[in-house]
Amino acid sequence: MIEEKLFIAGRWTHVASTIPIEDPSTGEKIGTLAAGRASDVDAAVNAAAKAYTGAWGKLTAAERGRILMKMSGAVAAKADALADLEARDVGKPLKQARADALALSRYLEFYAGAADKLHGETIPYLADYTVYTLREPHGVTAHIVPWNYPMQIIGRSVVGALAAGNATVVKPAEEASLTALAFARIAQECGLPDGAMNVVTGIGEETGAALAAHPGIHHLSFTGSTSVGALVQAAAGRNAVPVTLELGGKSPQIVFADADIERALPFLVNAGIQNAGQTCSAASRLLVERKIYEPLLEKLGERYRALRVGAAKDDLDVGPLISAPQKKRVEEFIAQGKNGHRVIAEGKIEASAPRGGHFVAPVLFADVAPEHTLARDEIFGPVQVVIPFDTEEDAIRIANGTDYGLVAGVWTRDGSRALRMARAIHTGQMFINNYGAGGGVELPFGGTGRSGHGREKGFEALYAFTRLKTVAAFHG
Ligand code: NAD
């Protein structure tokens, strides 16, 4: 049985109350996490503040980069072990979990290299002045992380903040904290000074809420649901703390009749069922030009029928959902869909899938009205809806017809149309003749509307994790 503690100021801290850790593939308890209290959050924020003014804050940017580069190598070397842990904790098929570990290593590599390339500017001004800007870290940054991609989200959020010179407090999701704690061990082994990264596990409403409301944090990065995002923004707002919100989505892929369908097909399906559809940027809506609607449905159906669902360790196409409540929620959406919609195809749960696991067979629905809940609400399960359209204007109206705007894809051989669509769609990332671009740690990511605000990934994140100071010197 796993027994995890809190990681504060470089020490592993025991607390009395615990949260069970469940393996979503079996439904069995595999250990316990520490349930951090408000006083533990306080200790973590104080430890970060001390690191910021102490050993960590005194390092040069190049020295910070070297530590992050060492961590990148260590994470890559332990990718299999981390993948194993993530597969047990999140239920992610092993290959997908391994890809997350390698993405974390790549974030570390990217931000290690960027740490000493972040600088201010000089600004031409009055004759007797020299004016320049300094990019300074905020100080203590807080990071509230969801359960669906723990390693990737730590990579794009915590690692960027560290590269910029902040000291961090991480609150992973209560459903999936194990790789955050494993990462803390790796960081310590690689020489990250005590207190530069603290990990406080616990329940969202207690530990997370205490962190969001803490007056000692100077920036909050939240990834999770839109409803909790609104709560943490309000809490941080009371201390005038800036917030990055990475929230949900209902992202479309738009397929025109002139598209290269064979190239598009794997992207259309994989972007819907990867991580069992529990992906903020999942392509949960497929908008298809009517001229190719029925033949494309047939091809999509073939792919769906071949999808195999099973335990994470069996490394099939789709693993279990994270928990029983999440499974129930997704099944309710599917039941609503089956009541009156055309089911094109369903995937198959393997006979070997353990009985207690939270498995849901992927479902592809067609002819869904754009205003229906299936086409508007984030389901967060392996469910895609296909919606026909007739004109470019139609496609734009339907694509922009939800409260979200995170990611979108367009498939067409008409270059001018692709560029018009890229302008017209409300989204944080737009993909032309691809979807996701292989993850791309270099590519700024974030939402519009209810998908949130602020950007992580790429160099853009470093601007968010620093504040600009203007220095105006009069020298006569
Ligand atoms: P969630 O909002 O329930 O939880 C996210 C985190 O917030 C967890 O660590 C949780 O413990 C914490 N939390 C919960 N209540 C809190 C509170 N009152 N105060 C402070 N913290 C609290 O989300 P989830 O169910 O874990 O994740 C799924 C959601 O995350 C989906 O909507 C998904 O789209 C979104 N998501 C977005 C992105 C993105 O980059 N935009 C990435 C991954 C997931």
248 Cα to the center of ligand 1, angstroms: 9
Give the integer Cα–Cα distance in Å for 159 and 44.
17
Whether residue 34 is predicted with pLDDT greater than 90 in this model: the reply is: yes
Q: Is the CB of 19 under 6 A from ligand 1?
A: no
144 Cα to the center of ligand 1, angstroms: 8
The pLDDT, as a whole number, for residue 257 is 98
Whether residue 296 is predicted with pLDDT greater than 90 in this model: the reply is: yes
Pairing type for strands 6-8 and 11-13 reads antiparallel
CA angle centred on 172, ends 228 and 308, rounded to 5°: 90
Work out the angle between the directed axes of helices 261-273 and 293-305 (0-180°, nearest 10). 50
User: What percent of the chain shows pLDDT beyond 90?
Assistant: 99
Q: Are residues 233 and 190 in the same domain?
A: yes
Q: Are residues 257 and 161 in the same domain?
A: no
Single out the residue of 215, 142, 189 nearest to residue 10, CA to CA: 189
The H helix count followed by the E strand count for the chain is 17, 23
446 within domain boundaries: no
The pLDDT, as a whole number, for residue 429 is 97
Q: Nearest C-alpha to atom 14 of ligand 1 is from which residue?
A: 204
Q: Are residues 389 and 272 in the same domain?
A: yes
The tally of CA atoms less than 13 A away on the side-chain side of residue 209 is 7
392 within domain boundaries: yes
Q: Are residues 157 and 278 in the same domain?
A: no
CATH number of the domain that 428 lies in?
A: 3.40.309.10
Dump pLDDT digits (tens) for 435-462: 998 889 999 999 999 999 999 999 999 9
This prediction has a pTM of: 0.97
Pairing type for strands 28-34 and 429-432 reads unpaired
328 Cα to the center of ligand 1, angstroms: 18
What would the mean pLDDT of 116-137 be, rounded to a whole number?
97
H/E stretch holding 6: strand 6-8
H runs (alpha helix) in 54-93: 55-58, 61-77, 79-90
Q: Are residues 273 and 225 in the same domain?
A: no
341 Cα to the center of ligand 1, angstroms: 30
Q: Are residues 302 and 422 in the same domain?
A: yes
- Residues catalogued as catalytic: 246, 280
Dihedral sign for Cα 190, 194, 200, 201, please: positive
Whether residue 160 is predicted with pLDDT greater than 90 in this model: the reply is: yes
Q: Is the CB of 333 under 6 A from ligand 1?
A: no
Q: Are residues 63 and 155 in the same domain?
A: yes
Dump pLDDT digits (tens) for 207-231: 999 999 999 999 999 999 999 999 9
Q: Nearest C-alpha to atom 32 of ligand 1 is from which residue?
A: 225
The pLDDT, as a whole number, for residue 438 is 86
Q: Are residues 124 and 224 in the same domain?
A: yes
Dump pLDDT digits (tens) for 308-364: 999 999 999 999 999 999 999 999 999 999 999 999 999 999 999 999 999 999 999
Q: Is the CB of 147 under 6 A from ligand 1?
A: yes
Q: Are residues 350 and 218 in the same domain?
A: no
95 Cα to the center of ligand 1, angstroms: 24
What would the mean pLDDT of 109-136 be, rounded to a whole number?
97
The one-letter code for the residue type at 160 is G
Q: Nearest C-alpha to atom 38 of ligand 1 is from which residue?
A: 280
349 within domain boundaries: yes
Question: Is 418 in contact with 434 (CB distance < 8 Å)?
Answer: no
Q: Are residues 268 and 347 in the same domain?
A: yes
210 within domain boundaries: yes
Dihedral sign for Cα 109, 437, 450, 460, please: positive
Burial 445-465 (b: 16+ CB within 10 A, else e): bbbebbbbbbbbbbebbbbbb
How many structural domains comprise the chain?
2
Q: Is the CB of 146 under 6 A from ligand 1?
A: yes
H/E stretch holding 34: strand 28-34
Q: Is the CB of 204 under 6 A from ligand 1?
A: yes
Q: Is the CB of 236 under 6 A from ligand 1?
A: no
Beta strands in 263-394 (DSSP E): 285-289, 308-309, 342-346, 348-349, 363-366, 383-389
Question: Is 209 in contact with 36 (CB distance < 8 Å)?
Answer: no
Q: Are residues 228 and 131 in the same domain?
A: yes
223 Cα to the center of ligand 1, angstroms: 5
Sheet strands side by side (includes 122-123): 122-123, 129-137, 466-474
Please name the residue that has the structure tokens 């259309």. Answer: 268
The pLDDT, as a whole number, for residue 437 is 87
Please name the residue that has the structure tokens 């292989």. Answer: 438
Best residue among 92, 144, 327, 451 to mutate for probing ligand 1's pocket (most ligand atoms within 8 Å of CB) is 144
Q: What share of the chain is helix, strand, coil (3-state, %, to 5)?
A: 40, 25, 35
445 within domain boundaries: no
The pLDDT, as a whole number, for residue 366 is 98
The pLDDT, as a whole number, for residue 432 is 98
Single out the residue of 367, 362, 360, 365 nearest to residue 385, CA to CA: 365
Best residue among 19, 148, 214 to mutate for probing ligand 1's pocket (most ligand atoms within 8 Å of CB) is 148
The pLDDT, as a whole number, for residue 474 is 98
Q: Collect all residues with Cβ–Cβ distance below 8 Å to 201 and sequence separation of at least 6.
A: 4, 6, 19, 33, 34, 35, 36, 171, 172, 174, 177, 180, 181, 207
Please name the residue that has the structure tokens 């290299």. Answer: 113
436 within domain boundaries: yes
The one-letter code for the residue type at 9 is A
Residue 85: which domain range? Answer: 2-247+453-472
Give the integer Cα–Cα distance in Å for 204 and 209.
6
Q: Are residues 216 and 322 in the same domain?
A: no
Question: Is 444 in contact with 142 (CB distance < 8 Å)?
Answer: no
Dump pLDDT digits (tens) for 38-63: 999 999 999 999 999 999 999 999 99
User: What percent of the chain shows pLDDT beyond 70?
Assistant: 100
The pLDDT, as a whole number, for residue 24 is 98
The pLDDT, as a whole number, for residue 51 is 98
Q: Nearest C-alpha to atom 13 of ligand 1 is from which residue?
A: 204
Dump pLDDT digits (tens) for 68-82: 999 999 999 999 999
448 within domain boundaries: no
Whether residue 142 is predicted with pLDDT greater than 90 in this model: the reply is: yes
CATH number of the domain that 85 lies in?
A: 3.40.605.10
Q: Nearest C-alpha to atom 8 of ligand 1 is from which residue?
A: 173
Give the integer Cα–Cα distance in Å for 97 and 78.
12
DSSP 192: P
